[in-house]
Amino acid sequence: MGDPAGVGAEIICRSLAELRPEQRGRFIVFGDRALMDRADTLVRSELRFSDVPERDSVWPTVIDIQPKAPGTVQDGKMSAAAGARSYAYIARAVSAALAGDIDVIVTAPINKEALHAAGYPFEGHTELLAHLTNANSSFMLLASDKLSTIHVSTHVSLAGAVTRATTERELATIRVGHAHLKRMGIADPRIAVAGLNPHSGESGLFGRDEIERIHPAIDAARQEGINVTGPIPGDTVFYRAVRGEFDLVVAQYHDQGHIPAKLIAFDTTVNVTLGLPILRVSVDHGTAFDIAWKGIARHENMNTTIQYAGRLAAAKDA
């Protein structure tokens, strides 16, 4: 359900209401039953929630989770209480996914400051999920019909991103992105790797990272049969991808990949976590505290995310 002070419950209700009845009954919401009922009334989605999953039901299930967390949650306000509840919802969903009870987790937005205030020092969903699943590493991929990009690093400082761009991490990112696109039905994914420095270092004039760390990873990936090109300067590679030259761009750091993705497909970009033993997708926007619980939050991105989750589940079962 995401942060209970944010727009998660509202956009979930709107999106579930638009599904066909036979689809709707396959969804389980891990969150707060009272808040889901309140959101249902607020947005007039006219849903009915089950307490436990029922075969052939046309209504979604809400698993009511009430962690022992001090403090109260206020609409549109960051708080440790909301962060604690966010964590509890996610942890319960991960347990269900690891047990095989659900196929894919779809996450509504959380607030990183609230998560930290509650005592969970994770940079975001991706890192938290890696912790809960004991994964050695995880990767963030932003997917849309216009552009898909996978990140070498995400929620770290720019200086930290430079140090994380090792040959090993570059190669692992290329491999994971290639495997995901093949799973999604692309027989021979065309991958481009963005440069880290301006002009991809200009043959060492603006830095030797491309020469010493990125080029070796690309060469190794090619030897494995991966169709990968680069490094290509960051100011042109996304334009070329949008024009259809590449299926995926490897972005070196958070903003390098997020800015073009959100610029051209803000409402339809899906955040996909790769490298975990479970499947997880998320909306690509925040908690929107400024408009939370006013009944005006748009749910197009949640719709797209749910659709992508369905494709992932189908690919998993194929």
DSSP letter at 283 equals: E
Count the residues in the chain: 318
pTM for the predicted model, two decimal places = 0.88
What is the per-residue DSSP string for 203-241?
TTTT-SHIIIIIHHHHHHHHHTT-EEEEEE-HHHHHHHH
The residue assigned the tokens 């997708």 is 281
* Residue pLDDT, tens place only, 260-302: 999 999 888 999 999 999 999 999 899 999 999 999 999 999 9
Mean pLDDT of 27-55: 94
What is the CATH classification number for the domain harbouring 224?
3.40.718.10
pLDDT in tens, 184-216: 999 999 999 999 999 998 888 898 999 999 999
At 254 the pLDDT is: 95
Q: Do 6 and 57 share a domain, yes or no? A: yes
Q: What distance in Å separates the CA atoms of residue 301 and residue 305, rounded to the nearest whole number?
A: 6
Whether 238 and 250 share a structural domain: yes
**Same domain membership, residue 16 and residue 127:** yes
Top pLDDT among 315 and 15 is at 15
Whether 54 shows a pLDDT value over 90: the answer reads no
Is 196 found in the same domain as 130?
no
Name the band, by pLDDT with cuts 50, 70 and 90, for residue 318. Answer: low
Within this chain, do residues 131 and 143 fall inside the same structural domain, yes or no?
no
> 148 and 87, same structural domain?
no
Question: Looking at the structure, do residues 1 and 128 belong to the same domain, yes or no?
Answer: yes
Domain identity same for 95 and 40: yes
218 in the same domain as 118: no
**Same structural domain, 301 and 316:** yes
Domain extent at residue 110: 1-138+275-318
Which helix (H) or strand (E) is 113 found in, with range? helix 112-117
Is 279 in the same domain as 134? yes
Query: In angstroms, what is the C-alpha Rg of the chain?
Result: 20
Domains of the chain: total: 2
d(CA 144, CA 315): 17
Q: CB–CB of 102/28 below 8 Å? A: yes
Q: Which amino acid is at 264?
A: I
Query: Within its chain, how far is the Cα of 225 from the centroid?
Result: 28
**CA–CA gap between residue 193 and residue 234 (Å, rounded):** 9
pLDDT higher than threshold 90 for residue 126:
no
- Could you tell me if 134 and 147 lie in one domain? no
